[in-house]
């Protein structure tokens, strides 16, 4: 509780862009987010006054972040569960709790749990040797998908392989592995919801997520052409997973849509998620405020969309990093697209790095997508990819 | 320029809620607002890391706030013009500049200037004695409106009088005065626009502002029943005033609508303004981002509305201050109105004090207004003014 305001304090582990945007949302709720950051120059630490510098793998740092906070929550999934269990035992309110969060930390735990629940997942198996992979492929066919059980993101930790040649090397390097059937898919979708300790759930409309080289480039909200029945089916799937895992806060369920109209769960995340950034500008309640409301057990906000079409395009650092500065590129982007909602994270530029996102809302999905993509690419590279010139 | 990000630094004089919400907007632009605050517990100082503690009437404090900033701008109008002129002479970029800002600081300067320009203002006269007021009333009739030339706000510094009895007392107390004809009006409107140094202007739709005891309670956007011609007329009036005064940043023009369909200028403000708070949730570009874009000479954002009706209701501290805490009241408000956008300023509660606002958007203005008013009153008092009970 902040004695000055009579309003709660939420502490977030991690100082990245998710914490940065959560602080933005906290301001409207009369709060100021407490951030546990590794460095004072991390995206959230540059914009919030209440920053604890420390490592998320250090129990004492976590304790310092949690002191006096109504809830401790996360910008990422990298806090070891045993430390969180210690904090819970010491009386800290941790949302999501360690048992729930494990499903977002360990892909094998998640797959096994969903399979037990009878939820649709790709065929999978644990891997402790190359022979395990060969046996799996003998049943399901090559190529197969190898995944690091822990720690992968944005396409890292995933290998599509036609033989088991790299398996022993990865295992010897200490990467715990699992293998999955390679799913034939027509596209990827995501459903994000919030769940409160009380058990209230609020689901955002299902979105289509577009990837390039394993990195999300655009999110289309709501998912174009998804039938009402299918939207309800995936929404209910996400609600069942939320209830079964006991997640508190946001849950993102990434899905494969298959050619025969099925939806398989690919990944889970239990924090604000890139696939719901659109909600900041395209829904009544943005995901960052919703996450705070959920972890504080506030009644959840409306997830209704404001306009028929909304596209979020990630700004991925140009390769090579452009010679024009970000300020100049921002000028040009705003000049061409006065309707663009730009969110910059204060991160230094590296090729492929997510340094911001752009959201555009409107009536026509194709047109909104075209504009959002152009704006995001220009912010990243200083180039209009459609050859447009202002001169 | 922030060396860490390559993006500009804006310094804002004043640590109130306008600076607080400007910091929120700055985060999306990759920035962190520098705030000059009197105390570390002011609304903006509680949520921004880059705070200079000092007085806005102290040249050295202003200099400290301005160091390395691309622009110095304002949360209020109380900085003496001579200090701003000194800063400008020293090379600080001050937006709005002191010559422009004078029109928002001195009501007599503003009235004279607008009258010179031929713009519609109520009849007025300077006052140096009770006899001046008597002479004015002899021509225009009693009652008349006495106004403090400087320093009034939220109904303070305005007296509607049927005789000149209090004039000498006010003058002796050092309050510079002017007198105006009391305008018969059907309602009050406001037009807010942004103007960049380059001269680009972006105008928000005209809104209706509802006052009670001189304090704004609700803003209806766009103003209900205003004809297209009238909306264009007041928009162009605001643009002419912006160009004539040379304002950079936001300009709010408060207007009286008279029974014969005329629009008279009541007040000017040159900063983010209560009458445009609705734009944070109801327009493509919120006024706080727009102000930053204007003072940085970025191209301005779209001012289009997102939904047909938007109402902002101020949360005015209850009288007496309620015994339930703000957190409990927030719970109940969210439970009843999941679509309510709440903005709390982190201010202590005092009767009548603006401690936050609520915005609701939708299709039907009357319904949206009813809900926004109920939500704001509940946040202030813990009472549902329609007698509603959740039990």
Task: Give me the pLDDT at residue B347, please.
Answer: 95
Q: Is B185 on the interface with A (CB under 8 A)?
A: no
Q: Cβ B47–A300 below 8 Å, yes or no? A: no
Q: Smallest Cβ distance to A302: which of B45, B285, B339?
A: B339
- Residue A77's pLDDT band, with cuts at 50, 70 and 90, is very high
Nearest CA to CA, how far is A142 from chain B (Å)?
Answer: 45
Q: How far apart are CA A344 and CA A47, in angstroms?
A: 12
Task: Give me the pLDDT at residue B153, please.
Answer: 63
Does B181 belong to an annotated binding site? yes
Asked whether residue A155 carries a pLDDT value surpassing 80, the answer given is no
In this structure, the dihedral spanned by the alpha carbons of residues B255, B257, B261 and B264, taken in order and rounded to 10 degrees, is -40
Q: What is the pLDDT of residues A14-61, one digit of tens each?
A: 999 999 999 999 999 999 999 999 999 999 999 999 999 999 999 999
Q: Which residue of B has its CA nearest to A9?
A: B327
Q: Which residue of B has its CA nearest to A361?
A: B284
Q: Is B53 on the interface with A (CB under 8 A)?
A: no
Task: Give me the pLDDT at residue B151, please.
Answer: 78
Q: How far apart are CA A222 and CA A204, in angstroms?
A: 9
Q: Is B29 on the interface with A (CB under 8 A)?
A: yes
Q: Is B32 on the interface with A (CB under 8 A)?
A: yes
Asked whether residue A153 carries a pLDDT value surpassing 80, the answer given is no
In contact, A76 and A16? CB cutoff 8 Å: yes
Closest to B140 measured CA to CA, from B102, B180, B83, B101: B180
- Residue A390's pLDDT band, with cuts at 50, 70 and 90, is low
Non-local CB neighbours of A231 within 8 Å, separated by 6+ positions = A205, A206, A222, A223
Q: Is A308 on the interface with B (CB under 8 A)?
A: no
Q: Which residue of B has its CA nearest to A357?
A: B28
Q: Can you list the residues of chain B whose pLDDT is less than 50?
A: none
- In degrees, rounded to 5, the angle at the alpha carbon of residue A152 between the alpha carbons of residues A148 and A156 is 100
In contact, A249 and A22? CB cutoff 8 Å: no
Q: Which residues of B touch A342 (CB under 8 A)?
A: 28-29
Phi first, then psi: give them for residue A241, nearest 5 degrees: -65, -40
Q: How far apart are CA B355 and CA B83, in angstroms?
A: 30
How high is the ipTM of this complex?
0.97
SS3 content of chain A, % helix, strand, coil (to 5): 30, 25, 40
- Residue A112's pLDDT band, with cuts at 50, 70 and 90, is very high
Task: Give me the pLDDT at residue B169, please.
Answer: 94
Q: Is A170 on the interface with B (CB under 8 A)?
A: no
Q: Is B384 on the interface with A (CB under 8 A)?
A: no
Task: Give me the pLDDT at residue A163, please.
Answer: 96
Q: Is B299 on the interface with A (CB under 8 A)?
A: yes
Mutation site for B-interface testing, chosen from A16, A30, A53 by largest number of B Cβ within 10 Å:
A30
Q: Is A298 on the interface with B (CB under 8 A)?
A: yes
Q: Which residue of A has its CA nearest to B324?
A: A6
Instruction: Provide the 8-state DSSP code for B165.
Output: T
Q: Smallest Cβ distance to B6: which of A6, A325, A331?
A: A325
Q: Smallest Cβ distance to A327: which of B6, B327, B342?
A: B6
In contact, B191 and B238? CB cutoff 8 Å: yes
Task: Give me the pLDDT at residue B52, please.
Answer: 98
- Interface size, chain A vs chain B, as Cβ–Cβ contacts under 8 Å: 150
Mutation site for A-interface testing, chosen from B346, B347, B350, B361 by largest number of A Cβ within 10 Å:
B346
Task: Give me the pLDDT at residue A214, please.
Answer: 81
Q: Cβ A334–B299 below 8 Å, yes or no? A: yes
Q: Which residue of B has its CA nearest to A31?
A: B346
Nearest CA to CA, how far is B131 from chain A (Å)?
Answer: 49
Q: Which residue of B has its CA nearest to A30?
A: B344
Task: Give me the pLDDT at residue B207, please.
Answer: 98
Task: Give me the pLDDT at residue A391, please.
Answer: 53
The helix (run of H) or strand (run of E) holding residue A11 is: strand A10-13
Task: Give me the pLDDT at residue B20, please.
Answer: 98
Q: Is B8 on the interface with A (CB under 8 A)?
A: yes
Task: Tokens 């003058």: give the residue.
Answer: B171
Catalogue all structural domains in chain A, each as residue range(s) with its CATH number: 10-94 (3.40.50.20), 123-181 (3.30.1490.20), 187-381 (3.30.470.20)
- Residue A151's pLDDT band, with cuts at 50, 70 and 90, is confident
Task: Tokens 């941790």: give the residue.
Answer: A94
Asked whether residue A242 carries a pLDDT value surpassing 70, the answer given is yes
- In degrees, rounded to 5, the angle at the alpha carbon of residue A278 between the alpha carbons of residues A277 and A283 is 120
In the beta sheet, which residues pair with residue B218? B210, B313
| Percentage of chain B modeled with pLDDT above 90 | 94
Q: What is the pLDDT of residues A314-328, one digit of tens each?
A: 999 989 989 899 999
Chain B (197-256) residues lying within 8 Å, Cβ to Cβ, of chain A:
202
Task: Give me the pLDDT at residue A381, please.
Answer: 95
Write a three-state SS string for A207-259: EEEEEECCEEEEEEECCCCCCHHHHHHHHHHHHHHHHHHCCCEEEEEEEEECC
Q: Cβ A30–B284 below 8 Å, yes or no? A: no
Q: Cβ B28–A30 below 8 Å, yes or no? A: no
Asked whether residue A389 carries a pLDDT value surpassing 90, the answer given is no
Nearest CA to CA, how far is B225 from chain A (Å)?
Answer: 23
Mutation site for B-interface testing, chosen from A201, A327, A336 by largest number of B Cβ within 10 Å:
A327
Q: Which one has a higher pLDDT value, B153 or A246? A: A246
Binding residues of A for ATP: 107, 147, 180-183, 188, 266-267
Mean pLDDT of chain A: 96
Q: Cβ A28–B304 below 8 Å, yes or no? A: no
Please, how many CA atoms are within 13 Å of residue B24, restricted to the half-sphere of its CB? Answer: 30
Q: What is the pLDDT of residues A179-191, one digit of tens each?
A: 999 999 999 999 9
DSSP notation for B39-62: STTSTTTTT-S-EEE--TT-HHHH
């Amino acid at each position: 509780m902040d004695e000055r305001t009579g309003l709660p304090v939420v502490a977030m582990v991690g100082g990245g862009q998710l914490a940065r945007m959560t602080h933005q949302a906290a301001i409207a709720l009369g709060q100021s987010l407490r951030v546990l950051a590794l460095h004072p120059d991390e995206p959230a630490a540059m914009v919030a006054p209440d920053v604890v510098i420390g490592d998320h793998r250090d129990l004492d740092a976590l304790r310092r972040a949690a002191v006096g906070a109504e809830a401790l929550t996360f910008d990422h999934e990298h806090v070891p569960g045993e430390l969180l269990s210690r904090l819970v035992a010491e009386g800290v309110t941790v949302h999501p709790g360690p048992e729930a969060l494990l499903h977002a930390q360990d892909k094998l735990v998640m797959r096994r749990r969903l399979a037990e629940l009878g939820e649709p997942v790709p065929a999978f198996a644990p891997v402790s040797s190359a022979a395990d992979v060969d046996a799996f492929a003998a049943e399901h066919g090559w190529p197969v998908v190898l995944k690091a059980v822990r720690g992968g993101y944005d396409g890292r930790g995933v290998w599509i392989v036609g033989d088991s040649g790299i398996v022993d090397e990865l295992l010897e390097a200490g990467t715990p592995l699992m293998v999955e059937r390679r799913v034939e898919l027509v596209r990827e979708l995501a459903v994000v919801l919030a769940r409160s300790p009380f058990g209230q759930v609020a689901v955002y409309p299902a979105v289509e997520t577009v990837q390039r080289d394993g990195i999300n480039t655009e999110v289309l909200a709501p998912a174009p052409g998804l039938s009402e029945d299918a939207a309800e089916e995936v929404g209910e799937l996400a609600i069942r997973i939320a209830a079964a895992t006991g997640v508190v806060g946001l849950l993102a369920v990434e899905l494969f849509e298959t050619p025969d109209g099925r939806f398989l769960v690919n990944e889970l995340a239990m924090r604000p998620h890139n696939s719901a950034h659109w909600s900041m500008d395209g829904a009544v309640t943005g995901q960052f405020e919703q996450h705070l409301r959920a972890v504080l057990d506030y009644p959840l906000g409306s997830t209704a969309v404001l306009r028929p079409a909304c596209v979020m395009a990630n700004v991925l650092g140009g390769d090579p990093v452009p010679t024009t500065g970000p300020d100049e590129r921002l000028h040009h982007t705003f000049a061409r697209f006065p309707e663009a909602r730009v969110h910059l994270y204060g991160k230094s530029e590296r090729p492929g790095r997510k340094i911001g996102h752009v959201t555009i809302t409107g009536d026509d999905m194709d047109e909104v997508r075209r504009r959002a993509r152009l704006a995001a690419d220009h912010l990243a590279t200083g180039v209009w990819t459609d050859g447009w010139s202002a001169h």
